[in-house]
Amino acid sequence: MAHKVFISYKTEDTEYKDIIQDELDIDMIDNSLNSPVKSENEDYILRYIRENHLSKSTVTLTLIGNRSAESLHPLFEDQYYIKREMQASLYNGTGNSKNGVLAVILPSMYNAVYPSPNTTTSSFDGNTVSISNISDDTVIKEISENFYLDSPMHDVNRDYWTSNERYVIAVKWDDFISNPNKYIDMAYAKRTAPIANYTKVHPK
C-alpha cells in the first residue's frame, strides 16, 4: 500500500531528500515541499505547508542531520519551521489527521545518536537493550519527547522503553535505504497503535 509521505528536512540535507525521491524504490505518494514558499510571512508559509502538504500526508519522514537539534550552535539557524512541521504532524484535529513519524538518522549523526558501546544490561530485568541518544543535542523536542514518551504504558521503574511505548520510529540511514517501505509502514502503523493516544504536540 502506498502511503502519503511528507519529508521534513534542513536545507543542508537536501541531497538525502533527493536520493529518497529520485533513487530509492519506494511505494509512496510524495507530498513533500520541494521549493520555498514565496512569502516572507511565517504564518502564511506554515499554513500553506499544513493545508497543501501535511494535511494530505499520513507519514512524516524527518531527516536527522547535524543541524537538526533542539540546542543549536549560535551560528546555525533556529528550528522554527521543522518544529512547526512536526507539531502539525502530531496534531489530530479537524482537517489534519495525525501522521506517523519516521526519524531517519543521517550518517553524520551516527556517533552522536548511537554511542559505542551501543548496548547495556537493564538493571530492571537484566535484558540487553540498545542505547540511543535521542535528546536536545541530536533532535528537536517534538521527536525526543515522542520517542521516550511519558505515558501510562511505560513502567517508570523500567530503565528502557519498548517499541510499543514509542511513537516515533528511529532508524539509521543505511538501514532505511535497504528497506524503506518497511520503515514507512512501521511509522504508518503507529497512527492506530495504543501509544498514539499519548503523543505530545507541544512538549515542554
**Domains held by the chain: number:** 1
Q: Give the whole-angstrom CA distance, residue 146 versus residue 144.
A: 5
- Residue-wise pLDDT for 94-118, tens only, equals 767 899 999 999 999 999 999 998 8
DSSP conformational letter for 96 = B
Banded pLDDT at 121 (limits 50, 70, 90): very high
Average of per-residue pLDDT across 55-63: 91
Domain for residue 203, yes or no?
no
- Strands of the sheet with 3-8, listed across from one edge: 28-30, 3-8, 59-64, 100-105, 169-172
> Which amino acid, one-letter code, is at 142?
E
Which residues span the domain enclosing 60? 3-198
pTM, full prediction: 0.90
Q: Which residue has the higher pLDDT, 81 or 73?
A: 81
204 in a structural domain: no
